[in-house]
């Protein structure tokens, strides 16, 4: 879906300001603008800060990942880059189920499930989380999704299949630039014709990325846990991603 627009969309009314991005209407019904901020939050918004240059890194990295996925048959909302930290996207109705894919133990698997960090997972874990800040994005299961009508059986199977295909593509890409893709979060949305496409972002905010050689964390965990050199880690991901293209 990465066709370019004939004329550049003009930014209109602010539709939504989230923690990491702003979404604007445009002069075209069929396009939105997604602008990436330097603001960083963690632990349900209780930790707040800014990461200089993050908006640009996340926008550029997301654009490259969306292009790569589109080339590999994964339809997504990306249309074109408009500036260093803004992109045109296709509007979707976001499905309030976040899909998390895990290749290596980290994060909540360590904090809440008692697993040791850094163990390879086989099979890959796919998890569903309800996208609801007030409820702190709780883990949910297939029955919850069916009972509350977020997706039917086919929709769940489709999202799982897409998530695993995306995982294969991204695992290979990141391996090529010396990075282990530990885990990541995806959001999907419905187009007016009922089709479901990938939306939101794919960036060091939404992926855990570890250097293959040193194990160094090159993602938002540096901010979450005050590991230092946060800006430098984001720049490193941008640099490696850009040189791979």
Ligand X SMILES: Nc1ncnc2c1ncn2[C@@H]1O[C@H](COP(=O)(O)OP(=O)(O)OP(=O)(O)O)[C@@H](O)[C@H]1O
Q: Kindly list the residues in this chain that would bind ligand X in the complex (CB under 6 A).
A: 16, 18-21, 23, 32, 77, 89-92, 94, 133, 187, 189, 199-200
Closest approach of Cβ 101 to ligand X, in Å? 17
Torsion of CA 188, 77, 100, 96, to 10 degrees: -30
Q: Min. distance of Cβ 45 from ligand X in angstroms? A: 8
Question: How far apart are the C-alpha atoms of 115 and 2, rounded to whole Å?
Answer: 40
Query: Which residue's CB is nearer to ligand X, number 28 or number 216?
Result: 28
- Residue 163 CB, shortest distance to ligand X, in Å, is 16
Nearer to ligand X, 89 or 97 (CB): 89
Cα–Cα distance measured from residue 182 to residue 107, given in angstroms and rounded to the nearest whole number: 10
Shortest Å distance, C-beta 116 to ligand X? 29
Q: Which long-range contacts (CB under 8 A, 24 or more apart) does 114-120 make?
A: 118/215
Q: Measured at CB, which residue is nearest to ligand X?
A: 18
> Exposure of 114 by Cβ count < 10 A (0-12 exposed, 13-18 middle, 19+ buried)?
exposed
Q: How far is the CB of 197 from ligand X (least distance, A)?
A: 8
Q: How far apart are CA 109 and CA 102, in angstroms?
A: 9
| Cβ distance to ligand X smaller for residue 190 or 216 | 190
- For ligand X, the closer CB: 199 or 218: 199
With vertex at residue 222, the alpha carbon angle to CA 216 and CA 228, rounded to the nearest 5 degrees, is: 90
- Token readout for 54 is 């993050």
Whose Cβ is closer to ligand X: residue 220's or residue 240's?
220
Side-chain-side CA neighbours of 163 within 13 Å: the count stands at 24
């Amino acid at each position: 879906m990465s066709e370019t627009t004939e004329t550049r969309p003009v930014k209109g009314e602010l539709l939504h300001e989230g923690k990491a991005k702003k979404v604007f209407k445009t002069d075209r019904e069929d396009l939105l603008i997604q602008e990436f901020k330097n603001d960083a939050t963690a632990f349900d918004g209780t930790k707040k800060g800014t990461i200089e240059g993050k908006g640009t890194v996340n926008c550029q990295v997301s654009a490259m990942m969306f292009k790569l996925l589109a080339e590999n048959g994964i339809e997504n909302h990306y249309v074109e880059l408009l500036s260093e930290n803004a992109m045109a996207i296709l509007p979707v109705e976001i499905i309030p189920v976040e899909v998390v894919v895990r290749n290596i133990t980290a994060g909540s698997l360590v904090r809440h499930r008692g697993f040791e960090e850094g163990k390879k997972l086989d099979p890959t874990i796919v998890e569903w989380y309800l996208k609801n800040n007030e409820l702190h994005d709780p883990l949910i299961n297939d029955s919850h999704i069916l009972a509350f009508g977020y997706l039917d059986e086919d929709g769940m199977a489709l999202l799982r299949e897409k998530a695993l295909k995306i995982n294969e593509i991204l695992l290979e890409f990141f391996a090529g630039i010396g990075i282990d893709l530990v885990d990541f979060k995806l959001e999907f949305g419905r187009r007016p014709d009922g089709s479901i496409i990938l939306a939101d972002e794919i960036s060091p905010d939404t992926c855990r990325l570890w250097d293959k050689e040193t194990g160094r964390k090159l993602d938002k965990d540096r901010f979450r846990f005050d590991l230092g050199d946060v800006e430098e880690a984001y720049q490193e991901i941008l640099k490696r991603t850009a040189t791979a293209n």
